[in-house]
Amino acid sequence: MPKIKRKLTAQEKANKKRRKLEYMTIFINGKQKRVKRPMLIDGIPVEEFISINADPIWLHQNEEWEYLDEQTQF
C-alpha cells in the first residue's frame, strides 16, 4: 500500500523557503551537494560591488589595497 503524502505545516514551509534562499544545489563528481549561496549586493558579488563603488580613501582606510587602481594609489 502506498504511503499517503501529508501537507507541510507552516513552520516546515518557512524552513524550506529559508533553506532554499540560503543554499543552492550544485553537482560535484556527479553528486548533488548543498552549498551556501555567495553573498550578493544588488545582484552582484560583494567584491565586484566594492571595486565599482568604493572611493580610494575608503579602500585605504579598510585596507582593501588590491582594489585600488594604479592611477589612484597614494
DSSP code string of the chain? -PPPP-PPPHHHHHHHHHHHHHEEEEEETTEEEEEEPPPEETTEEHHHHHHHH--HHHHHHTT-GGGS-STT--
The pLDDT, as a whole number, for residue 19 is 93
In a domain, 37, yes or no: yes
In a domain, 19, yes or no: yes
Cα dihedral across residues 40, 41, 43, 46: positive or negative = negative
Note the pLDDT tens digit of each residue in 14-25: 999 999 999 999
The pLDDT, as a whole number, for residue 46 is 86
In a domain, 28, yes or no: yes
d(CA 23, CA 63): 30
d(CA 49, CA 57): 16
Q: What's the whole-number average pLDDT of the chain?
A: 87
Domain with 43, as residue range(s), is 10-67
- Number of domains observed in the structure of the chain: 1
In a domain, 4, yes or no: no
Query: pTM to 2 decimals?
Result: 0.52
Percent of the chain whose pLDDT exceeds 90: 47
